[in-house]
Amino acid sequence: MYTRQICRRVASGASRRSFASAASKESSNSIAYLVGAAAAVGGLAYYNSESTNKVASLEKPKDVDQALADLKQIVDSTIAAEIAVEKEKFAKYWPRSIMILFGPPGAGKGTHGPKIENLMGIPQLSTGDMLRAAVAAGTEVGKKAKAVMAAGGLVSDDIVVGIIRDRIKEEDCKFGFILDGFPRTLVQAEALDKMLSEEGSAVSKVIELSVPDSVLEERICGRWIHKKSGRSYHVKFAPPKSMVIGEDGKPVAESMKDDETGEALMQRKDDTSTALVKRLQGYHGETVPILEHYAPNGVVKSVNANQKMNGVWSEILAALSR
């Protein structure tokens, strides 16, 4: 078994190197094809016989470029199949990576969440987005949540816990997920811990985006959003290219368009200074105690989110690494 593993590594390394050098030669050089093919067959033999058969059945090349492209396709698909097998093992036997992106409204969870999503390859689950979608679709959950959300209050624990319980069972969460806006109360944190402990998992990281309240009103009240993509703009800090300022010194609503699609931007109903007061009360009274709940596990990392975007991102990267 051990010998076989070594052979496999040597052969696959040799095959990739020879194949790469073969591919870079002049297309008229048929020796390149032969070297590439021989190395690929040698390497692939240690992966599986199906790939070896595919290479062996390739016709003698009339066109070397085409032959190399065929070989490359087989090598790529073999590697992709190997990766899929490894991923499956990882999903089955390793604990999920479960992160909480924590912070007051306007701290930058919606801005940095998608970047963490890209970096780690796990989805960002925003209970706020899910509830807004439910309100827009007029579902039972949406009807219950609509008024309390517009006023900046908290939707009942039962509803949000139920939403998360269902969502984290989906296929895209098999390696983990990033929670944004959940848990928001200790009851929700305890419910989360319980559902994770049932599968032997636990929250692995809490990233707290720390911003003083005094900065948040300007951030929140100047925020415009592209609903479909979640892209976020700000009249002062990140205006869309199309923005026109009216005679009253405020942006003209019709001029607020998404830079990428040209579609209309919108303002959230609860992004007002009145609703913000209530949202911040909820945050300090009910949400901040969650940090103390997770602190003894050594998973809480605080990031100064009141600085330039690049600085915030560097701190997040440092907080994410082990």
Which sequence positions are flagged as catalytic? 109, 184, 223, 268, 279
Residues within window 155-174 making contact with ligand AMP, judged by CB under 6 A: 155, 160
Whichever of 112 and 279 has its CB closer to ligand AMP, that residue is 279
Question: Are the C-beta atoms of 302 and 315 separated by less than 8 Å?
Answer: no
Q: Please state the closest distance from residue 105 (CB atom) to ligand AMP, in A.
A: 5
**Residue located via tokens 């949406």:** 142
**Phi, psi dihedrals of residue 54, rounded to the nearest 5°:** -60, -45
> Which of 42, 103, 113, 152 touches ligand AMP (CB under 6 A)?
152
Shortest Cβ distance from residue 148 to ligand AMP (Å)?
A: 6
Q: How far apart are CA 104 and CA 102, in angstroms?
A: 7
Scored b (16 or more CB within 10 A) or e, 44-74 reads bbbbeeebbebbeebeebeebeebbebbeeb
Which residues lie closer than 8 Å to 195 by C-beta, 6 or more apart?
A: 164, 165, 168
Cα 259–chain centre separation: 22
Which of 32, 101, 107, 154 touches ligand AMP by CB under 6 A? 154
| Interface with ligand AMP, residue 127, by CB under 6 A | yes
Which residue, among 319, 99, 314, has the nearest Cα to 206 in the 3D structure? Answer: 99
> Per-residue contact track with ligand AMP, 95 to 114, x per CB under 6 A?
----------x---------
Nearer to ligand AMP, 21 or 156 (CB): 156
Indicate whether 279 belongs to the interface with ligand AMP (CB under 6 A).
Answer: yes
The site for ligand AMP (CB under 6 A) is made up of: 105, 127-128, 131, 148-149, 152-155, 160, 181-182, 184, 188, 270, 279
